[in-house]
Amino acid sequence: MNFLSEYTYYIGAFSLIIIGLYIILVKKNLMKVIIGFSIFDTGIYLFLITVGYLREGTAPVFSKSGLDAGKMVDPVPQALVLTAIVIGVAVLALAVILAIKIYAHYGTINLRKIKEQRW
Amino acid sequence: MEIIAGILVLLMIASAIAAALFKDLMNAVIASCIVSLIAAVLFYLLQAPDVAMAEAAIGAALVTGIFVIAVKRTKRFEE
Amino acid sequence: MRKLISIILLGIVATGLFMSISQIPFGEPGERMGDHFIREGVKETGATNIVTAVVVSYRGFDTLGEVTVLFTAAMGLGAVIGLVRRKKTHPVIEPASLIVYTGCRFLFPVILLVGTYIVIHGHLTPGGGFQGGAVVASAFLLMYLGCRGKRIRENLSRGLESLGGLLFILLGVTGLLIGGDFLFNFLPLGEAGTLISAGIIPLIYLAVGLKVGSELAGIIDHLIENTDELSE
């Protein structure tokens, strides 16, 4: 029980990564696979932020005087995740446009059916 | 605070499983939008307001918009 | 068969991930990468938001690379769409209802204002170029959904995007000429906590905000307007 309350965020991140990986590996619909990528991404962001957390810490912003620098959460993972999120959306848009083009070309986005077809 | 986080994580996992199971892709997109939205709240609870802001604007608004457009341009139902 | 292999693989990954996660303590203080940034960040960069200091100042060169990745993705998207010759037909667009239309018209400037505020105050409060740019782009998404038929001029969004990238590189090269380092902070740091402080950090975040906002708005424009013929 103690383990569960301590590791709530880790469990969330772990589940998201596993569910995203399951969708990517098992599903045959291309749009579903891209949704899986998005969930997988979210899991990794949550994991990185959780690693940088400090119990009863404050956000790394000196918005008022008297904040203790020793009780602040780690800013480095936050900076990494911040840029990763914005790049993620651009790469996702590229994947989506490729899926739309595949649908226009083959008339289906089912990966198994695409494999059976000739050019 | 821990109880709230626990409930949110459970909701998030349930939405992710729903996104995997739905045959209607539009429903799956909305479920993945809920995952992003709850992740934004969790980032706020983990003292990362910068990341929460980015995730709320991008994960819940832009990515959902892009997915909805894509589902509209392709097939709606998974076969 | 394929499913079985996938699930076995998934099990292996899950076990490995679980074993490594259970070794990481949650929220324990210890040796951290960001300790120096937290203790000396305000003194060294003048920005009160340490995340901004890390993104723009300590890891500024890295951010330039990430902005380049964003640019490459947007360019690839344009290239993939551009392979189709567009027919110059204008499909009849069904207008949104009056309530949706008026609501979008009302919300659009408010969201733009919030986005600009987030960009400008990036070095003082949570926020900055990446978040503000995303908020601005979501305002344009709202406009596309609510008021169909209105478009951004493509040249304008391309121009703003190039301007943002150019500003970033020019600031970096100026720092190289003056201080000997790329992205050297050549402006006075000023008093931490005021709007005009922290040297070139607000300027760089403004450039990043311009670039991210116009880039994402351009991606949405491409997706909505140029894929109509593909789905016929």
* Domains in chain C: boundaries: 42-71+92-227
Q: If you average pLDDT over residues A50-79, what whole number do you get?
A: 80
| Residue A4, pLDDT above cutoff 80 | no
The reported pLDDT for the residue numbered A2 is 62
Residue A115 to residues A99, A103, A111, Cα–Cα distance (Å): 14, 13, 6
Tens digit of pLDDT for each residue in C139-166? 888 888 887 766 677 778 788 888 888 8
Predicted local distance difference test score (pLDDT) of residue C204? 86
SS3 B75: coil
**CA gap A26, A13 in Å, rounded:** 20
Handedness of CA C26, C29, C30, C33 (dihedral sign): positive
Please report the residues numbered 45 through 74 in chain B whose beta carbons come closer than 8 angstroms to any beta carbon of chain A: 46-51, 54-55, 58-59, 62-63, 66-67, 69-71, 73-74
The residue among C54, C58, C141, C194 with the most chain A CBs within 10 A of its CB, best to mutate, is C54
Question: In the prediction, which pLDDT does C93 show?
Answer: 65
C49's tokens: 């938001």
Give CA separation, C7 vs A21, A39, C13, C211, in Å: 10, 18, 10, 42
pLDDT score for C110: 93
d(CA A38, CA B44): 20
pLDDT at res. C44: 77
Q: Which chain B residues touch A78 with a CB distance below 8 Å?
A: 48, 50-51
Interchain proximity B49–C131, CB inside 8 Å: no
What are the sequence ranges of the domains in chain A? 2-60+68-116
Is the Cβ–Cβ distance between B9 and A11 less than 8 Å? yes
Whether A9 contacts B6, CB under 8 Å: no
A52 in contact with C, Cβ within 8 Å: yes
Instruction: Supply the mean pLDDT for chain B.
Output: 88
Interface test with B, best of A5, A28, A35 (most B CBs within 10 A): A35
**Which residues fall within 8 angstroms of residue C63, CB to CB, at 6 or more apart?**
A83, C55, C56, C208
Q: Which of residues 174-213 of C touch A (CB under 8 A)?
A: 192-193, 212
pLDDT of residue C190: 73
Low-confidence ranges of chain B (pLDDT < 70): none
Q: How far apart are CA A19 and CA B16, in angstroms?
A: 7
pLDDT of C188 > 80? The answer is no
Residue C214 CA to residue C129 CA, distance in Å, equals 12
**CA–CA separation, C210 vs C129, rounded Å?**
8
* pLDDT value of position C157: 79
- What value does the mean pLDDT of chain C take? 81
For chain C, percent of residues with pLDDT exceeding 70: 90
CA angle A110, A24, A7 (to 5 degrees): 155
Question: What does the alpha-carbon distance between residue C72 and residue B38 come to, in Å, rounded to a whole number?
Answer: 30
Lookup: tokens for C209: 């905000």
Instruction: Work out the mean pLDDT of chain A and round it to a whole number.
Output: 84
Which whole-number Å values give the CA distances from A99 to A91, A114, C215, C222, in the listed order?
13, 12, 20, 14
Tell me how far apart the 2 most distant CA atoms of chain B are, in Å.
42
Nearest-CA neighbor of C63 among C227, C215, C205, C219?
Answer: C205
Confidence band of C90 (pLDDT split at 50, 70, 90) = low
Distance CA C24, CA B74 (A): 43
For the stretch C188-195, contacts whose Cβ atoms lie closer than 8 Å and that sit 24 or more positions apart, written own/partner, are C189/C45, C189/C46, C190/C46, C192/A62, C192/C42, C192/C46, C192/C47, C192/C48, C193/A62, C193/C48, C193/C124, C195/C120, C195/C121, C195/C124
CA distance C141 to C133: 12
Per the CB < 8 A criterion, the answer to whether C141 and C220 are in contact is yes
At B38 the pLDDT is 92
Give the pLDDT confidence score for residue C89 in this predicted structure. Answer: 57
The complex scores an ipTM of: 0.89
Is A2 within 8 Å of chain C by CB? no
Are the C-beta atoms of residues A26 and A46 closer than 8 Å to each other? no
In CATH, what number does A2-60+68-116 get?
A: 1.10.287.3510
Domain boundaries, chain B: 2-73
Q: How far is the C-alpha of A45 from the C-alpha of A80, rounded, in Å?
A: 9
